[in-house]
Amino acid sequence: MISREPTIERLAIAKSLLLTPFGLDETHLTRALAEIKAHKVDEADLYFQYTRSEGWSLEEGIVKTGSFSIDQGVGVRAVSGEKTAFAYSDDISEASLLDAARTVRAISVASKSAKVKTPAVKVSRSRTLYKDLDPIATLDSASKVALLGKVEKLARAKDPRVAQVMAGLASEYDVVMVARADGTLAADVRPLVRLSVTVIAEQKGRREVGSAGGGGRFGLAYFDDACIEKYVNEAVKAALTNLESRPAPAGEMTVVLGPGWPGILLHEAIGHGLEGDFNRKGSSAFSGKIGQRVAAKGVTVLDDGTIADRRGSLNVDDEGNTSQRNVLIEDGILKGYIQDAMNARLMGVAPTGNGRRESYAHIPMPRMTNTYMLGGDKAPEEIVASIKKGLYATNFGGGQVDITSGKFVFSASEAYWVENGKILYPVKGATLVGSGPECLKRVTMIGNDMKLDSGVGTCGKEGQSVPVGVGQPTLRIDGLTVGGTA
C-alpha cells in the first residue's frame, strides 16, 4: 500500500466529506472566489467544515445521557480594509456558494478590472501534529459506558466521604478545508477527546467539590486505567482538601502559583492582551510596547500551536496558515503579538498562525493556541519555603479580565495558607485581584517545573469558544491583592 504525503491525505479526506458528496470540486471554489473578486477586496476565503460529536455523562451511578450530532456547512468571507462581510450556510452547494459570494462582495465597489485573474492553486504547507483519526470510532459504546462506570467505582472506593461522582466523556471529529482568493488550499483533520471527573465529598453536613480531567488530539485509548486513576485521585484529593479548608485571609501578600493549570491566569490576564486586534485598535494595556520591558527578567511567554497532540494545537489555522511557535515576551521584553491575516495586514506584519474560529458560522479572529511561560532555575520547594506569610494557589476556577486596563479577578479552587515556609492549612474563598502587566513585573522567583495543563481548556472571546492549552512553572509573585472571606 502506498501512503500519501500527510498534507495531501488531509486534503483528500476533506474533499471526500465536503466537496464530492455535493457535486463540487476545485473549479466551483474558484468560481465562487472569482465572484467575490469581481469587487475590490483585500482578502476572501471559503471555510468548509464537517463536525461529528459524541458525548456521554454519568451521574448518580448511571450513565444518564448520551448524545451524537453531525454538523456541516460553509462560511464565505470578504475583507476590505477593516471591514468584513460574512455569510454562512449549512447547505453546501454551488448555488449557496455563489449566493454567499455575491452577498459578501457588496462590502466593496466593483473592480475596474475587466477580467479577474485566476491564481494557480497552491496547497498550503502544514504540520503533522496528530493523527487523522476519528476518535469516536476508537472505542465502542459499551466500552465508553464501562469507562465512566470505572470512574464512579474508583472514586467511591477512595474514601467513604465521597457522596457523589459525576463524569463526562466527549469525542469530536472535525474536518476543515480553506480556499483563499490567492489560490491557497488547506485542510486539517482534528480529533479531540476529553474525560472530566467531578467529586462531591461530605463531612458533618459540609459538602465540597473537586474536579480533574484531561484530553487532547488523539483517540480514547489514551484513557487507560492509569490515566483514569490519576484523574480520580486528583478530584477526590481536591474535594477532601476543601473539606478541611478555612476562610482565606484578605489583603496584599506574596502569592505562589503552582505549575500547569494555574497558567489560566497567564492566559486571561496577559494572553488576551497580546492578541493583534486589541493592539491594532490601541485598546490593550500592551499596545505600542514592542521592544519595551513589560515583565520581570526571566519571564518568557510563548504561544505555541505546534506541540504534538495538544488540545490547543493546529496543523493549520482556520485561515489556512501554518501554526507556529511564537515568542511573545522574552526575558521580560515584549517581542510581538498574536495575529490573524486581517490584523497582520493592517499592522504590516506577518500572520502568526492564530486565525481561529469556532465553526463555519463564525468569522476568524486572533486567538491563542497553547500559551505558557518557560521555566526558571528555582526548585518549587524552595519557592514555597520562601513565603513568610502568603498564599499558595494550586488550582483555579473562573475568572475575568478587562483587556483595556489589564485588571483581572480570579477564584482559586484549591489554595493553602503558608507561614514561615510551612504549608499550614487549605483555604477557601481566595480571590486574586490585580493587573496583568503589573503582575508580570512582580514575578520574583520562577520554578524549574514548567508543566502544561492536562488538556481541559476552552477559551471564550466575543461569543466564540475554541479549545486551548495553558502552562507555567511554579511562580512567586510579590504584592498581589487577595480577596478573602476571613
Q: What is the DSSP string of 354-376?
A: -EE-SSTTS--EE--SEEEE---
Query: How many whole angstroms separate alpha carbon 279 and alpha carbon 337?
Result: 8
- Largest Cα separation within the chain, whole Å, is 81
* Span 340-350, pLDDT tens digits: 999 999 999 99
Rounded to two decimals, what is the model's pTM?
0.94
Query: How many whole angstroms separate alpha carbon 486 and alpha carbon 396?
Result: 19
Count the helix, strand and coil residues of the chain and give each as a percent rounded to the nearest 5. Answer: 25, 40, 35
CA 8 vs. chain centroid, Å, equals: 26
Query: How many whole angstroms separate alpha carbon 270 and alpha carbon 405?
Result: 11
pLDDT of residue 412: 93
pLDDT of residue 123: 84
CA 365 vs. chain centroid, Å, equals: 13
Give the SS3 label for residue 111.
coil
Rg of the Cα trace of the chain?
24
C-alpha separations of 329 from 120, 206, 226, 302 in Å: 38, 44, 37, 7
Query: How many whole angstroms separate alpha carbon 201 and alpha carbon 223?
Result: 24
Q: Which residue has the cell 500559551?
A: 371
Give the SS3 label for residue 118.
coil
Q: What is the 3-state secondary structure (H, E, C) of 315-335?
A: CECCCCCECCEEEEEECCEEC
Q: What is the DSSP string of 138-200?
A: GS-HHHHHHHHHHHHHHHHHH-TTEEEEEEEEEEEEEEEEEEETTSEEEEEEEEEEEEEEEEE
* Span 69-95, pLDDT tens digits: 999 999 999 999 999 999 999 999 999
| 476 bridge partner residues | 256, 445
Indicate whether 399 pLDDT > 80.
no
Judged by phi (left if over 0) then psi (alpha if -120 to 50, else beta), residue 198 lies in: beta
CB 81 within 8 A of CB 53: no
What is the phi/psi pair of residue 239, to 5°? -65, -45
C-alpha separations of 484 from 331, 401, 416, 450 in Å: 32, 19, 12, 28
Type of residue at 413? S
Please report which confidence band the pLDDT of residue 114 belongs to, taking 50, 70 and 90 as the band edges.
very low
pLDDT of residue 1: 44
pLDDT of residue 342: 97
* Span 205-245, pLDDT tens digits: 999 999 999 999 999 999 999 999 999 999 999 999 999 99
Burial code (b: 16+ CB inside 10 Å, e: under 16) for 288-297 equals eeeeeebbbe
Give Cβ neighbours of residue 204 (< 8 Å, ≥ 6 apart): none
pLDDT of residue 194: 98
Least trusted range by pLDDT, from 199-203, 209-213, 242-246, 269-273: 269-273
Task: Give the mean model confidence (pLDDT) for residues 306-334.
Answer: 98
Q: What is the 3-state secondary structure (H, E, C) of 384-428?
A: HHCCCEEEEEEEEEEEEECCCCCEEEEEEEEEEEEECCEEEEEEE
Task: Give the mean model confidence (pLDDT) for residues 445-450.
Answer: 98
